[in-house]
Amino acid sequence: MNGHTVVPHSYDYDLIVIGGGSGGLAAAKEAAKYEKKVMVLDFVTPTPLGNSWGLGGTCVNVGCIPKKLMHQAALLGQALQDSRKFGWQFPEEVKHNWMTMTESVQNYIGSLNWGYRVALREKKVTYENAYGEFVGPHTVKATNKRGVEKLYTAERFLIATGERPRYLGIPGDKEYCISSDDLFSLPYCPGKTLVVGASYVALECAGFLAGVGLDVTVMVRSILLRGFDQDIANKIGEYMEEHGINFIREFVPIKVEQIKEGTPGILKVTSKSTKGNEIIEGEYNTVLLAIGRDACTRKIGLDKVGVIINEKTGKIPVNDKEQTNVPYIYAIGDILQDKLELTPVAIQAGRLLVRRLYAGATTKCDYVNVPTTVFTPLEYGACGYSEEAAVEEFGEENIEVYHSHFWPLEWTVPSRDNNKCYAKIICNIQDSERVIGFHVLGPNAGEVTQGFAAAMKCGITKEQLDSTIGIHPVCAEIFTTLTVTKRSGENTLLSGC
C-alpha cells in the first residue's frame, strides 16, 4: 500500500492526523511536501481545573519547553549566588517573581502556537481545532468546542494523540491538586508545594520550584526514576535532598482537603505508609501530581474500527512500520506500546512513516540508542543501557563499567558540590568493549550526551574513546580518561584539574 496505489474510493483526504503535537505536526507537514491532501485534528480537553492550550501538543505547551525554561530560571538563581565569588556585587536580597517568569514563558509558547498554525496554512494542511474520533471504516467525526460535528473520510489515518497526566483517584485530587498541565501557566506562585511522584516530571518540577526559592517536598511511593539507571537516580535524590528538598518515602496520599481558599490556598494532605498502617498529615499551599501519564486512546472510537489496544495501559501495539492491526491506520509517539515517550522520537517516526507511504523510502525509525536528558537540578543525560538492564541482558561477567566523579571548573571558585557530578560508561566485553550505556550527571548533560549518542550510533568502543583527545577544561573530557572500573572497587573521587 504505497502512495501511488490507485484508490478505489474517493476520500476527502489522503491522510488525516489525529493529534497536533510534535509527531502529528511533523508527519502532516512532511506529507504536504508530497502534495498529499492532509488534515490535522487537534483538541485539548481542559484539565479538571479548566486549563487548555494552543496547537503544538504537550512538549511545547506543558512539557519540555516550559520545563526547560523554568529549569533555566532555577539555574540562574544558582548562578547569581556563584557570581559573588567571581566579583559581582549586588544587594543581599535577591527575589524571584513567579508571575514575571510565567508570563515570559507563556508569551514565548504563544509565539510557537502561532508559528505552527502559520506553517500548516503555508503548506496547505487543513487544521481543525476539533476532537477526532473514529465512527466507521475510513471515517472520523470531528467535534469542535461548540459541539458542532462534521464527518471526514481519508485513505489513511495517523493517531498521534499523546498522553495526559494521571490522577490518584482519591478524595480531593481533581478538585484541589494540579498537574504539569496546570503548573506552567499557574497565575500565582504555588508557595509551599508537595510533589507526588518519583517520575522525571516529578523530580524536574520539584527541582525548579525549589530552585526559585520555594519550600518543596517530594512524596515517593517506592523508587526514584523507575526505568532509569538506579545508581544515577539515587545520586540525583541525594543531591536534591542536600539542596533543601524534603523527601517523604514509602507513603501515598489517600485524601486531599481544602483548609483555606486562596491563590494559593491551604490544603491538608493525609497519606498512608506503603509498608504498614501509619498515617501522616501535612499542610501545603499546592499539591502537584506527577505519578505518570495515560495514553489518550480510549475515547477516540478505536473499537469502532477494530484497532487493538493494550487494555491495561491503553497503548497501541504496532509493527516495525508504525502500522496498527488495521492496515490503513498508523500510530506514533507516546501512545505506542514498548516505545520511548520522547518528542524527537515521535517527530522522527512521523517523518519516516510519511516518506515510506508517499515517497518510496524504506528507512524505519530506529528506537535503539536514543539519547535523553532529565532536567533535574543536577542534569542527567543517558543513552543506551542502564547498568541494571545491561547486567540482565549480557550478564555481569560480560560487561565492564568505567566510572568517575568530576568537579566542573565553574563550580570550583564558588567551592560548591565537589564530587557530586558523575560519569559512567557500560561496555560489552564480548564485543570489543563496545559502549552500550552512557550516563552523565552534571551541568549541560543534554549537550554532552547528544554528541556521544552519535558516536554510539557509529558503534564506538572504549579504545576509541580513550584515543579521543579531550577538550580542556570541560566536563565532557572525563569520558576520554576513564580508567577505574566498578568491579575494581577503586576510589572515583577526584581532586585538582
Question: Which of residues 220 and 497 earns the better pLDDT score?
Answer: 220
Q: What is the average pLDDT across 247-252? A: 98
Q: What is the spatial distance between Cα 204 and Cα 197, in angstroms, rounded to a whole number? A: 11
Q: What is the pLDDT of residues 293-303, one digit of tens each?
A: 999 999 999 99
Q: What is the average pLDDT across 200-216? A: 98
pLDDT band at 494 (very low <50, low <70, confident <90, very high): confident
14 in Cβ contact with 38 (< 8 Å):
yes
Provide the grid cell at 177: 491538586
For a pLDDT cut of 90, what percent of the chain falls above it?
Answer: 97
Judged against a pLDDT cut of 60, whether residue 496 lies above it is answered with no
Listed residue (334, 356, 355) closest to 346, CA to CA: 334
Strands 38-41 and 126-128: parallel
Res 81: pLDDT: 95
Strand order in the sheet with 279-284: 251-260, 266-273, 279-284
Res 228: pLDDT: 97
pLDDT band at 495 (very low <50, low <70, confident <90, very high): low
Identity at 368, one-letter amino acid code: V
Provide the grid cell at 454: 552519535
246 in Cβ contact with 219 (< 8 Å):
no
Judged against a pLDDT cut of 70, whether residue 5 lies above it is answered with no
Q: What is the pLDDT of residues 140-169, one digit of tens each?
A: 999 999 999 999 999 999 999 999 999 999
339 in Cβ contact with 144 (< 8 Å):
no
Question: Which of residues 206 and 494 earns the better pLDDT score?
Answer: 206
Strand order in the sheet with 434-441: 372-374, 380-384, 434-441, 421-428, 399-406
Judged against a pLDDT cut of 60, whether residue 2 lies above it is answered with no
Q: What is the pLDDT of residues 354-375, one digit of tens each?
A: 999 999 999 999 999 999 999 9
Listed residue (61, 57, 81, 59) closest to 377, CA to CA: 81
Q: What is the pLDDT of residues 41-77, one digit of tens each?
A: 999 999 999 999 999 999 999 999 999 999 999 999 9
Judged against a pLDDT cut of 50, whether residue 1 lies above it is answered with no
244 in Cβ contact with 237 (< 8 Å):
no
Which amino acids are annotated catalytic? 472
Q: Which helix (H) or strand (E) holds 403?
A: strand 399-406
Strands (DSSP E) along 145-265, which ranges? 149-159, 163-165, 178-179, 193-196, 216-220, 246-249, 251-260
Judged against a pLDDT cut of 50, whether residue 4 lies above it is answered with no
Q: What is the pLDDT of residues 367-398, one digit of tens each?
A: 999 999 999 999 999 999 999 999 999 999 99
418 in Cβ contact with 436 (< 8 Å):
no
Q: What is the pLDDT of residues 439-489, one digit of tens each?
A: 999 999 999 999 999 999 999 999 999 999 999 999 999 999 999 999 999
Cell 528506537 belongs to 367
Listed residue (311, 294, 312, 293) closest to 302, CA to CA: 311
Specify the pTM: 0.96
